Homo-oligomer: A and B are copies of this chain.
């Protein structure tokens, strides 16, 4: 097994896994339908990758970790791809320099799609041929490849939004705006008792798969706290700005204030301001093109620095990842991974949606819409062990100077999120659908 903790406890039956494989793989290709080959080559910063590179790298993952191991007489599709589409696996070998991924005009998009087709066929062939002895590990690796593919589906969308934002024509990825009717919803507080409770992945609660960083399940003591009933909105962000939020150092972490000043930040990413009569109107670039900012919609594309300053300005704080998880597990109808309701990529909005009705019993928008920054550093859980083998580089080596985000976004596949899921980004990252939910202490 590649895991010390057996993440995938009940592998799917072959036919089910094959169907899931085909669906997830096809979904990636569906995401590039609005894009040309030229669009698919764009790389607008070292942290982002071209859509074509995502398409190829996801296939490289199956070729390297599944076919090379399980296919008899394995031959690579193209020898140069091993380097070209290796992301960060030192154990696999050399890597093409990340900041140059936009320079890969060859292979062409058509060749990459052919690469995908061939590897798909070979993976399915291997899956159907593999005997029982190897089945569990093979199924685990395929499932890992699919979870990996879903992560990159979200990155493909956030990366293309970033790339298109540099085009003065402001091209829209999708065209369905306005998304819904909007009206203000008051922000309420939900109280939680705290205490000692177990956190982290639990196969019974969270489904059949987890990344190693969600394990092991372990006790954590939490003090009583309150959580906001919804995400912070664009309207509240505008109040922050009107109150000179970007100009007051006392609201910011020292590193955040340096970031504000050196980057001359005074608006969220993708926002622009226009004089409109006497007023200042805000527009922002979205996957639906350049649109007016709706005050009732959750604010997103915030850095941790902005999220933290916004919370401080509001007289509150960001939740810890365990507070978030505790609340998520108490949601009235949180089912196992794969079927919770919410604004995920499947809605086709590609943007957070305003809260539609008051939330009485539980916080709204916990899942989907926007990832929620937590104040928790991305650290190993007590007893954490990275997976064994080459895939051990998947998560553990990034546990430094990053913060955990929880809950998924409008660009996340619905079946990819669970209460134990830990996303993570450095505190200056803005290009994800990252938003804010407030928390506060309950004074004893």
Residues of A within 8 A of B (CB): 36-39, 41-42, 44, 80, 83-84, 88, 90-91, 96, 100, 102-106, 108-109, 163-164, 166-169, 171, 196, 218-223, 249-250, 252-257, 304, 320, 375-377, 379-380, 382-383, 393, 397-401, 427, 441
What's the least CB distance linking A261 to chain B, in Å?
11
- Which residues of chain B are near A83, meaning CB under 8 Å? 168
Q: What CA separation (Å) do A109 and B37 show in the bound complex?
A: 11
Partner of A253, one of B36, B222, B399: B399
Asked if A221 and B196 sit within 8 Å, CB to CB, the answer is yes
In the complex with contacts A38-B108, A196-B221, A380-B375, A88-B166 CB distance below 8 A:
no
Q: What CA separation (Å) do A42 and B38 show in the bound complex?
A: 10
- Which residues of chain B are near A441, meaning CB under 8 Å? 382-383
In the complex with contacts A223-B383, A401-B427, A38-B109 CB distance below 8 A:
yes
What's the least CB distance linking A44 to chain B, in Å?
6
Q: What CA separation (Å) do A196 and B255 show in the bound complex?
A: 33
Total identical chains: 4
Partner of A80, one of B41, B44, B164, B168: B168
Asked if B168 and A84 sit within 8 Å, CB to CB, the answer is yes
What's the least CB distance linking A272 to chain B, in Å?
15
Can you list 12 pairs linking A and B with CB atoms under 8 Å apart? A38-B38, A38-B105, A41-B41, A44-B103, A105-B167, A196-B221, A221-B221, A255-B398, A375-B380, A376-B379, A377-B379, A400-B427
Asked if A36 and B254 sit within 8 Å, CB to CB, the answer is no
When C-beta atoms are compared, the residue in chain B nearest to A323 turns out to be B382
When C-beta atoms are compared, the residue in chain B nearest to A96 turns out to be B168
- Which residues of chain B are near A250, meaning CB under 8 Å? 90-91, 393
Asked if B96 and A397 sit within 8 Å, CB to CB, the answer is no
Partner of A38, one of B80, B96, B106: B106
Q: What CA separation (Å) do A219 and B196 show in the bound complex?
A: 9
Asked if B427 and A254 sit within 8 Å, CB to CB, the answer is no
Q: What CA separation (Å) do A441 and B397 show in the bound complex?
A: 19
Q: What CA separation (Å) do A382 and B376 show in the bound complex?
A: 11
Q: What CA separation (Å) do A163 and B105 show in the bound complex?
A: 9
